Structure 1
Amino acid sequence: MRIGEAAAAAGMTTKTLRFYEDRGLLPPAHRATNGYRDYGGEAITRLEFIRRGRAAGLTLAQISDILTVRDHGTAPCTHVRDLLARQLADLDAQIAELTALRAAVAEFHDTAAAGDPRKCDPDQICSYL
């Protein structure tokens, strides 16, 4: 199938497909005699995997590592599990940081909402922060 058909089947743009091919995530497509790229079903499977990996927050480098493991004939399940465990830990840390930030901003907001700008200390830029 041509690049437009392959991209549509994988739910992405032709530009993205070319980018993945340039980055080595997708093996170079067979070229027809007219020079058009010709993709097989295995390319769609690989592109769908890349899309799911990106949706899980994995980097292209991490996805490339997984594909390399698979390309060497080994199931990458353990590697994927470990990557996802790190991803979950990172997300939990980010959520904790955002929760703490929200609490701090809410406290600043409550102080500002209860304050009177006319009583601002002129020696401070803003007494609310």
Structure 2
Amino acid sequence: MNIGQVSESAGLPAKTIRYYEDIGLIAPSRSENGYRDFSKQDLHKLAFLARARALGFSIEDCRTLLGLYNDQSRESADVKRLAQDHLAQIEDKIAQLQDMHDTLAKLVDACHGDHRPDCPILSGIASEG
């Protein structure tokens, strides 16, 4: 398969596929004319990476997950630990977003939004630093 075909099948832009090759996540073979020639295994890896990235895993976590996926002697505890760490990071981000939401909602509620120049939103932002 060429890069266009694998891009469409894996749901990844060609630029991302080239990047994954540059950083060593995939290593497609090359035809005599130098074009990338992706195998079904390459496509499977790219689809795996796309799903892992959609779940928010970092590139390095994806590298680790691929290594674990390919290691038949892996322990599921290693995979679970990585996923639990990532889940904890997501939960922290959710908590931060909820705090941001709550603060901004209070500021918006406090603002009359009329012709007066005083604005609790600007005052609140200025005092948060």
Range into which the TM-score falls when normalised by the shorter chain: 0.7 to 0.9
| Contact preservation (8 Å) 1:66, 1:79 | no
Give the TM-score taking structure 1 as reference length. Answer: 0.77
What percent identity do the matched residue pairs reach?
Answer: 29
| C-alpha displacement of 1:76 | 6.4
Distance 1:12 1:116, change over 3 A: closer
Size of the alignment, in residue pairs? 122
* Structure 2: unaligned runs, 5 residues or longer: 125-129
Cα deviation for residue 82 of structure 1 reads: 1.8
Whether 1:13 aligns to 2:9 is no
Question: Any gaps of 5 or more consecutive residues in structure 1?
Answer: 121-125
In 1, the alpha carbon distance for the partners of 2:5 and 2:79 equals 29
Q: Pairwise CA RMSD of aligned residues?
A: 2.6
Q: Could you tell me whether the CA contact under 8 Å between 2:26 and 2:45 is conserved in 1?
A: yes
Partner of 1:110: 109
1:27-81: per-residue Cα shift (whole Å, max 9, x none)?
Answer: 2x22222222111100011000000010010001111112233445434643332
Cα contact 2:68–2:79 (8 A) shared by 1: no
TM-score by length of 2: 0.77
Give every structure 1 segment of 4 or more consecutive aligned residues whose post-TM-superposition deviation is greater than 6 Å: none
